[in-house]
Structure 1
């Protein structure tokens, strides 16, 4: 039975689907049986043929559903963010414990997921936070910034996977570097731009798109739009001379029948940072506009831009000797006669991200969700080495512009739900590193490397959720991932491809392909209790430095790395409790190995597999009197076939959160413990032990209505990060691969000291 037509409200309309594929930065191995003789130039014709086939599939994805569209439309509803399908879903009654949960699973989820609420972001994260702090307290996830929260390019880990082993998306659109699928938290999406997040700790279903469906996905959501007009002015000041000023304006619903709404945010952040001379300055703006074209069709436009200046060096921490002599916060010097002078180390990073999205219910159960997008990243970095010479510095550029489209089409019937679509993307990249004089920044003639390349991504998918009964759904699906890379590598000083026999450059192309099946079962035991079982495969695109060998002579390229994930889980909610539990086992490929023969040809080959497995749980408990207790925990392992641990994979993590909300007061204390883990030393596993450490934050908010006649509301927030002032060593890069004995030259990553902030926001 079809729902009546209802004009959607802007606090629920078009919250886009966000499940995305999982990306992997780490170079990974392939089975020997999957090796191919890949002469790049010879392969180019085959690659073109593959692209033409995928274009035909894309046309079928569009044309076939359109033929069945009827005139009668259904309620647009709220676009689901939980299942990655982009399918409109009806609003449901939310139990009280779920409303107050900072993070929780979804009753409709088909894999292990944690949804972070917008209230957690607004109330319990630093005003200068980036997206790594937004998800930091979810099960198994941890991250840290040695310069202070929101004051560095922070990396995030979960289930033994590091940045690049998973995708990050914004409103369903994947974004990442083009040379390897890693991410930059300081250049994209600070907390002011984010209205929620979903951490999916699995490759997801066939409908989960992305460049590396490997370990999971971090799915960021844009801000919800309110019905009422509002202007907010924010000022914040804290430790290390950290300040933020910002203005946010929401128009509320306006135009014909209140069909439009607009939200924009402008802010500037400045800080001296915890580490010596590691200053930061961020200017950022975002805008989101929505238009209800009809009762069943909505248009969304989003745009953001960030301009970042920092004095961060290429080496992000002190040596043991420096920390012992100058303190844990030592990083750079103010003396221009020293190699680590801060004036020789700086970044200027600009980024922008834009999309136009159309979501529509087309009748007879058909739903369309399409997003046309572009984003860019321009990182001009200059840094110095350990001496001061005419070539000790490095002039570095990493710049790319990406264009893409994400199409999702679905049809719901009594038999089940059909989902299909196509993710297509094109990226143009320019990268180089050139030896330079840090005193003048005059570059040498030849670079360490210089490459330009274009990446074409096509990823069609199809899945069908069969309604076995009213409560049982089984969903098989398959996705086809294809990545084509067209390279121009220029002659260099021998550190990458060499002098190329006197030629100015060399051109080559290659295509990576993989078919990725999935199968899951979702069973609704009761209206407030569900269970799921999932098998999913993931992959990641190899990094471009595969070709950084003499004359780019790669005769056997790696295949895309694969994962096979098996997991089961259950989600339960009541008025006073939420509970999510899952168990998983993932088999994944390890890092690439390579060999070069006497003629200079390089072959990439498999280097074995690893297994990560464990259990995870999270719960929110209403204690009464305005108090809530949030707890989560994980226990498991991530090990190579030798039995040794994968680097940066803790044996366990635990989170404890206590929040209070009553009247004008709102406060929360959240603590995460990260268990014992190891760092590697070159090819030696378990070389360095990292002892357990704790991340603990406290936020106290007080808001009162009409403090003065000209203000609607005032909110004061006191924030304390690293409440217990822990300064643990959380990472070690040994000075030499010959030994793992602590040495003065070891590079350390340390937690920053306690920091506080006081923030005032006035609403008009």
Structure 2
């Protein structure tokens, strides 16, 4: 495997600087103490800094199987869900990971980080719904890109900033927020703020020269500030990465504070700031020719005569995510929660144009043509075409929840308001070989001649949305055992684009459209026994077009309708003395799918067809003894395209039905064993992802075989110390997990499981 280039001297560690600021607040105090006890499920003191908010969802007695289950569901559930607490994250997930590795513990979820766990961006698939077709929230706040509700897994919330995760495989109730509700929600929870002073220092060393340091500091209750308390979390990550020359670094700082005001009223504030830098091409992925020559980990190299030179390919990002949440009792029967928030994303990318060129392509100067004079002929001089890309957005909003207790139950109402401002989004062509000059970037005039548009400008665009979503759920306690909750939500979102040079068309476009929809929800939970519950759900879902629908010479934004879904689900949850079981079946009808077709030289978007999703899911944990637990979960997932046909601009369009949609595994499974006593925790687990296809219609050339990834983790605790050694992908499976079709088959790009890798961690509590 090729190594990364030498880096300049590392700046002083962020976590040490943070420690210097607040060490006086936390020195000389005992190890962690739990915030509270959720029902009778005790929280591990070692993980008490991550709090009890998610544990409180597991309404159960002191059942061993429930406490140890890495994936569990609540007896109060009204839709299929997987609760993954911090204890499970610490045992089964690499310390360097992001949320995509955490949610892989859940059935029906799949995804792989190609540069190593948390060392490069990854995407998760949920029941066949791709990223952008389900919501991700952090402390109840939906977040995602402003040009479409997709997510960057390494840009906001590393593992140390996640206290627990709840994967909701369904639209939920009307109060469950997000613009892509029909695919479900991945709900991340921040670490809780401890009532006691203390701290911890974690250091991890791993494969590919990976180094991670996490410093956590809790002030405990500060008497002079009416019992206010704060948590500081500082993380620093550096790695060469599994992929060749794909070195990365990331720094994160988080502050979360709770301020008691009076009575039940309190104010919670959170701020997190992230800085990431990684050498990667903007269109990364290796062709089979490149794999044959350089190996499955090929990404970049140190040869300036090729587009894969690491010096031509660099992505730098800066983000922040902040909120302030006020909660309290307006009256004894009326509770209020109001959250104002904002988050920011800035991406500066430098990339070579085409990383798929083979050595023979480069020798023939294919794809290396530079036009030096506007309107002139291409000059085959062997220079590398490149571009810079800038994407900046800021999103801010307000979420109001009001819960009114009434004789028959609870009325839960509120409103979500949000505004997104994107801009500039810009891309400029340049000669990567010559790079920067004293006057700026050297210009590469590869683009077609358009009056009034500089040929090196591919797009310069501003966009955004304004949305409001009032909602109401009526939680009706029909009997002590049966709760029925009808809900209603109204969605109004104005999507706007303001571009002097629009993406793809390179023509001006200034337009907007307001989309509206009323969504209906009905859930029920019936307790057959105190430890056995049945649930059912009917819900409608809604997903707007994103700004790519406007990227055409003649955008037809006004002709597009939202994508919609109708969801039917039913399941059960059982918490026994030694056995925990949850299982469900689902059926989802997805219509109005946005498709695109080329008419002449024009890309046209339109609504046609959709898909039907159906399947069964389940999870079980069995306590063989007080210290030995066996667990398994799995799913069978059908996501078949609906056949349809039409004519667009005289071009016939036929959608083949009855085939699994692209990127949707037909099954998932996980199996494992956990031994845990006062000193040791040893786990062996395996995640299986079933067959899938990388292109529509199940073409044989794009079939992706099933693959496994087995992990072994050994933890030893003594006093204030925690030692861990772990091997991930134990059996060194390096199968393809994704294929991106290219212009022709030789230029298809492949992505593989990272090789077997290891991490060793030391954590001390003080």
- TM-score tier by shorter-chain length is 0.7 to 0.9
Instruction: Give the secondary-structure state (helix, strand or coil) at the position aligned to 1:353.
Output: strand
The question of whether the paired residues in 2 share the 8 Å contact of 1:638 and 1:649 is answered with: yes
Which of 741, 749, 756 in structure 2 is aligned with 1:734?
741
- Alpha-carbon offset, residue 244 of structure 1: 1.0
The question of whether the paired residues in 2 share the 8 Å contact of 1:645 and 1:685 is answered with: no
Which residue matches 1:65?
none
Indicate yes or no: 2:486 matched with 1:476.
yes
1:572-619, CA deviations, whole angstroms, 9 ceiling, x for partnerless residues? 102211110100000113642357889x99874322121010110001
Indicate yes or no: 2:629 matched with 1:628.
yes
Which residue matches 1:450?
460
Cα 1:270–1:233 shift into 2, 3 Å: same
Indicate yes or no: 2:530 matched with 1:527.
yes
1:532-552, CA deviations, whole angstroms, 9 ceiling, x for partnerless residues? 1110111112110111111x5
Cα 1:424–1:414 shift into 2, 3 Å: same
Indicate yes or no: 2:689 matched with 1:695.
no
Which of 274, 277, 280 in structure 2 is aligned with 1:312?
280
More displaced 10-residue stretch of structure 1: 262-271 or 354-363? 354-363
Instruction: Give the secondary-structure state (helix, strand or coil) at the position aligned to 1:630.
Output: strand
More displaced 10-residue stretch of structure 1: 642-651 or 109-118? 642-651
Instruction: Give the secondary-structure state (helix, strand or coil) at the position aligned to 1:615.
Output: strand
Which of 130, 144, 148 in structure 2 is aligned with 1:176?
144
Which residue matches 1:664?
679
Distance (Å, rounded) in 2 between the aligned partners of 1:734 and 1:219: 32
Listed as ranges, the matches of 1:146-295 within 5 Å are: 146-255=114-223, 259-295=227-263
Q: How many residues align?
A: 667
The question of whether the paired residues in 2 share the 8 Å contact of 1:249 and 1:263 is answered with: yes
Indicate yes or no: 2:426 matched with 1:432.
yes
Distance (Å, rounded) in 2 between the aligned partners of 1:230 and 1:578: 34
Distance (Å, rounded) in 2 between the aligned partners of 1:374 and 1:207: 20
Which residue matches 1:714?
721
Indicate yes or no: 2:407 matched with 1:414.
yes
The question of whether the paired residues in 2 share the 8 Å contact of 1:646 and 1:685 is answered with: no
- Alpha-carbon offset, residue 347 of structure 1: 0.3
Indicate yes or no: 2:511 matched with 1:543.
no
Q: Relative contact order: is structure 1 or structure 2 higher (C-alpha 8 Å, sep ≥ 6)?
A: 1
The question of whether the paired residues in 2 share the 8 Å contact of 1:156 and 1:163 is answered with: yes
1:126-168, CA deviations, whole angstroms, 9 ceiling, x for partnerless residues? 1111111111111111110111111111000121111011000
The question of whether the paired residues in 1 share the 8 Å contact of 2:640 and 2:658 is answered with: yes
Distance (Å, rounded) in 1 between the aligned partners of 2:103 and 2:167: 7
Distance (Å, rounded) in 2 between the aligned partners of 1:399 and 1:457: 20
Cα 1:685–1:460 shift into 2, 3 Å: farther
Which residue matches 1:28?
none
- Alpha-carbon offset, residue 401 of structure 1: 0.7
Cα 1:389–1:605 shift into 2, 3 Å: closer
Distance (Å, rounded) in 2 between the aligned partners of 1:437 and 1:348: 20
The question of whether the paired residues in 2 share the 8 Å contact of 1:647 and 1:685 is answered with: no
Indicate yes or no: 2:317 matched with 1:349.
yes
Cα 1:342–1:513 shift into 2, 3 Å: same
Distance (Å, rounded) in 2 between the aligned partners of 1:406 and 1:341: 46
Distance (Å, rounded) in 2 between the aligned partners of 1:666 and 1:586: 40
Distance (Å, rounded) in 1 between the aligned partners of 2:460 and 2:37: 46
The question of whether the paired residues in 2 share the 8 Å contact of 1:467 and 1:474 is answered with: yes
More displaced 10-residue stretch of structure 1: 409-418 or 419-428? 409-418
Indicate yes or no: 2:608 matched with 1:607.
yes
Which of 462, 466, 473 in structure 1 is aligned with 2:472?
462
- What TM-score comes out, normalization by structure 1 length? 0.83
The question of whether the paired residues in 1 share the 8 Å contact of 2:461 and 2:501 is answered with: no
Distance (Å, rounded) in 2 between the aligned partners of 1:748 and 1:79: 42
Which residue matches 1:48?
none
The question of whether the paired residues in 2 share the 8 Å contact of 1:414 and 1:467 is answered with: no
Distance (Å, rounded) in 1 between the aligned partners of 2:99 and 2:409: 36
Task: Let me know the Cα RMSD of the aligned residues.
Answer: 2.5
- Alpha-carbon offset, residue 257 of structure 1: 9.2
Distance (Å, rounded) in 2 between the aligned partners of 1:294 and 1:98: 36
Which residue matches 1:725?
732
Cα 1:205–1:115 shift into 2, 3 Å: same
Indicate yes or no: 2:376 matched with 1:376.
no
- What TM-score comes out, normalization by structure 2 length? 0.83
Distance (Å, rounded) in 2 between the aligned partners of 1:727 and 1:645: 24
Instruction: Give the secondary-structure state (helix, strand or coil) at the position aligned to 1:332.
Output: coil
Which residue matches 2:620?
619
1:332-380, CA deviations, whole angstroms, 9 ceiling, x for partnerless residues? 1111111211111010011100101112133342111111101001011
Q: Structure 2 regions of 5+ residues with no counterpart? A: 1-32, 39-50, 355-366, 372-384, 445-453, 643-656
Indicate yes or no: 2:506 matched with 1:498.
yes
Distance (Å, rounded) in 2 between the aligned partners of 1:596 and 1:120: 48
Which residue matches 1:29?
none
- Alpha-carbon offset, residue 123 of structure 1: 2.6
Instruction: Give the secondary-structure state (helix, strand or coil) at the position aligned to 1:155.
Output: coil
Distance (Å, rounded) in 2 between the aligned partners of 1:186 and 1:756: 20
Distance (Å, rounded) in 2 between the aligned partners of 1:701 and 1:186: 26
Distance (Å, rounded) in 2 between the aligned partners of 1:687 and 1:203: 35
Distance (Å, rounded) in 2 between the aligned partners of 1:201 and 1:428: 30
Cα 1:90–1:667 shift into 2, 3 Å: closer
